[in-house]
């Protein structure tokens, strides 16, 4: 069944509501703001993306926009992170987060405002950059949300914290902000909210799951060592290309034969680098893996299995004990799964269904194991209750053919995506900051 068909089935059984005059006023205000401010702001962000951890100009613009609205703004949190605070009487604290970074891709969307910028990455290599995952929608909507929450202060009571986060694409920005004192230097939230625009959902629709929304992710590197020799005399060496090939195949048994088939698990070898010439058996091959799971238990099982398979496959193929593979798990590109707090998500869903109107709230099955470092803001240890939403980004008639995220062809319908993102964020925040009486 197509994605559109799944959505149609899902919509049929959901909560519905009728928007009030106040809700209609919110929609009108956001639409007017898009025409006056947010449309041009989105265009600026889309034309000027920046790579992970290097979002200097983006952060400066976010700080400028939020400061102009009257928020207390702090820059340079966890690198390029921006934190804005609005205190509005007694009540809980709600944090709303938007990620800022782009990806090292040359945009081929065909849009008039397609990015043409390049940037020298942390590895010293100049690369093309584009917003191939919709973070330009997120930060534009955060500014729109900030404006509406300021204008609607009579509707809510408590403290609002807005976060423009760096480096989500490399899943170290959220942790960097936490380690830089986000929850110590600023009001610690009782609740945290975020949304991601989704190319595979129709515009004007919002999803807010009651449980898991994104998988864990770990970047793992395997250096496969061999003994180099002439390609015509393979018996005089140990071929790391052969060893690496066996490791790649054996790793798939972790998903197919060691993991409960009802559990989510992925081990993808995304890159293989080795060898220099047709007739030379090299002494090293490097593998780069991404590992995904939906539970801590499966996550550890996969990581332990990678160590075991790499070591024992090499031994079986004659690699000397002192040249066994080196398995390294990234200390920065790692995140636990993102799991919504069920009770808080239920409150947000009820508010969305009531305020945004019939058919806006949808629920569809997960179709992949994307990761999201929003998880660091809502760990069980933090006590912060999180709700992570998805906002439709593609015209309904084009959903089935929409290019995926992280594609150079990626494109989003900016106006409805930003407007719905603002409406959903304001509605969710006000539901959690409801003024007594």
Catalytic residue chosen out of the listed positions 50, 55, 99, 372:
99
Q: How many other CB atoms sit within 10 Å of the CB of residue 64? A: 13
Helix, strand, coil percentages, rounded to 5, for the chain: 40, 25, 35
Q: Which CA distances in Å does 170 have to 136, 338, 371, 392?
A: 16, 15, 10, 23
DSSP string, 119-146: EE-TTS-EEE-B--SSHHHHHHHHHHHH
Question: d(Cα 115, Cα 96) in Å, to the nearest integer?
Answer: 27
In the chain the first and final C-alpha atoms are separated, in Å, by 46
Question: d(Cα 165, Cα 58) in Å, to the nearest integer?
Answer: 10
Catalytic residue chosen out of the listed positions 33, 107, 169, 283:
169
Token reading at 233:
């005399």
- To the query of whether residue 343 is one of the catalytic residues in this protein, the response is no
Torsion, Cα 4 5 9 12, to 10 degrees, reads 50
From the number of C-beta atoms within 10 Å of its C-beta (0-12, 13-18, 19+), residue 184 rates as: exposed
Question: d(Cα 276, Cα 226) in Å, to the nearest integer?
Answer: 14
- To the query of whether residue 99 is one of the catalytic residues in this protein, the response is yes
Backbone torsion region of residue 89, taken as left when φ is above 0, otherwise alpha when ψ lies between -120 and 50, otherwise beta? left
Q: Which CA distances in Å does 378 have to 108, 363, 411?
A: 36, 22, 30
SS3 269: strand
Closest C-alpha among 168, 135, 107 to residue 410: 107
Residues assigned a catalytic role:
99, 169
């Amino acid at each position: 069944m197509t994605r559109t068909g799944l959505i149609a089935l899902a919509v049929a059984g959901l909560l519905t509501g009728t928007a009030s005059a106040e809700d209609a006023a919110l929609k009108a205000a956001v639409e007017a703001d898009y025409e006056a401010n947010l449309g041009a702001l989105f265009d600026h962000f889309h034309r000027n993306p920046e790579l992970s951890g290097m979002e200097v100009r983006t952060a400066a613009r976010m700080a400028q926009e939020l400061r102009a609205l009257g928020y207390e703004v702090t820059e340079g949190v966890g690198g390029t992170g921006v934190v804005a605070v609005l205190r509005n009487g007694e009540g809980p604290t709600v944090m709303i987060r938007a990620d800022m970074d782009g990806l090292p891709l040359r945009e081929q969307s065909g849009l008039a405002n397609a990015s043409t910028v390049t940037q020298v990455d942390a590895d010293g290599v100049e690369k093309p950059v584009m917003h191939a995952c919709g973070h330009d929608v997120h930060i534009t909507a955060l500014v729109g949300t900030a404006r509406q929450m300021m204008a609607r202060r009579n509707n809510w009571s408590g403290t609002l914290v807005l976060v423009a986060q760096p480096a989500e694409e490399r899943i170290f920005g959220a942790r960097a902000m936490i380690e830089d004192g986000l929850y110590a230097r600023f009001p610690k939230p009782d609740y945290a909210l975020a949304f991601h625009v989704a190319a595979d959902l129709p515009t004007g629709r919002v999803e807010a799951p009651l449980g898991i929304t994104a998988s864990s992710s770990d970047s793992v590197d395997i250096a496969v060592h061999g003994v180099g020799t002439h390609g015509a005399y393979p018996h005089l060496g140990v071929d790391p290309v052969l060893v690496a090939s066996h490791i790649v195949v054996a790793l798939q048994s972790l998903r197919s034969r060691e993991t409960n088939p009802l559990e989510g698990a992925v081990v993808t070898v995304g890159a293989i680098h080795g060898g220099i010439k047709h007739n030379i058996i090299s002494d090293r091959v490097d593998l780069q893996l991404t590992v995904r799971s939906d539970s801590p238990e499966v996550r550890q099982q996969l990581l332990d299995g990678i160590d075991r398979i790499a070591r024992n496959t090499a031994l079986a193929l004659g690699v000397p004990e002192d040249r066994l593979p080196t398995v390294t798990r990234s200390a920065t590109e790692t995140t636990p799964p993102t799991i919504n707090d069920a009770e808080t998500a239920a409150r947000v869903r009820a508010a969305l269904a009531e305020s945004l109107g019939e058919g806006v709230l949808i629920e569809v099955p997960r179709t992949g194991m994307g990761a999201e470092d929003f998880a660091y803001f809502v760990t069980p240890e933090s006590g912060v209750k999180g709700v992570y939403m998805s906002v439709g980004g593609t015209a309904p008639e084009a959903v089935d053919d929409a290019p995926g995220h992280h594609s150079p062809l990626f494109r989003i319908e900016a106006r409805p995506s930003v407007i719905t993102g603002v409406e959903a964020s304001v509605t969710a925040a006000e539901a959690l900051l409801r003024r007594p009486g």
